[in-house]
């Protein structure tokens, strides 16, 4: 838990400034594009031990679509980068309910806190016992230069 809180504190420390209007969404999609590796995870108040986080668990965004670890795919249904915290709704392929969440991108760190499909959006980057919320911290995977 201490590690997750420390990582989250580092990610939240700098101020985030977003552009207004439709361009803000376009800019945000570009900030998300790329591959992210999970570095910390907590669900329903229970932290997953770092040694149990699979190295292969990646999240990849491309032009409003995503893929999680080579498995579940889907699309971003809605993104609102002008709220505090920023909001994101996405839907896995083959499902009917959106996953509602909040997020932060600061440099090479992406933090998301999401509710179960169809549930109310979290209002803070926390995952208290019984909330059903999942809090995940990712770090951007750097492209290798040949």
Chain mean position to CA 111: 5
Q: What is the pLDDT of residues 50-62, one digit of tens each?
A: 888 876 678 999 8
- What pLDDT is attached to residue 72? 73
Examine the pLDDT at 117 and tell me if it is beyond 80: yes
Between 121 and 64, where is the model more confident?
121
Mean pLDDT of 83-107: 94
pLDDT of residue 38: 92
Q: Are 60 and 138 in contact (CB under 8 A)?
A: no
The domains of the chain are located at: 2-140
- Taking the model in full, what pTM does it have? 0.80
| Percent of the chain surpassing pLDDT 70 | 82
Q: Name the phi and psi angles at 37, rounded to 5.
A: -105, 135
Which CATH number is 2-140's, of 2.40.160, 2.30.30, 2.60.120, 2.40.128? 2.40.128
User: Residue 82: its pLDDT value, please?
Assistant: 94
């Amino acid at each position: 838990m201490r590690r997750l809180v420390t990582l989250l504190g580092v990610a939240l420390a700098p101020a985030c400034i977003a552009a207004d209007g439709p361009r803000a969404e376009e800019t945000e999609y570009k900030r998300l594009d790329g591959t992210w590796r999970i570095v910390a995870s907590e669900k329903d108040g229970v932290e997953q031990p770092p040694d149990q986080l699979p190295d292969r668990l990646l999240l990849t965004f491309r032009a409003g679509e995503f893929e999680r670890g080579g498995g579940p795919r889907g699309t971003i249904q809605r993104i609102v980068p002008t709220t505090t915290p920023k909001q994101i709704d996405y839907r896995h392929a083959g499902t009917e309910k959106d996953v509602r969440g909040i997020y932060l991108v600061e440099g090479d760190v992406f933090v998301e806190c999401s509710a179960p499909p169809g549930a109310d959006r979290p209002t803070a980057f926390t995952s208290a016992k019984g909330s059903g919320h999942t809090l995940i911290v990712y770090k951007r995977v750097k492209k290798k230069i040949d």
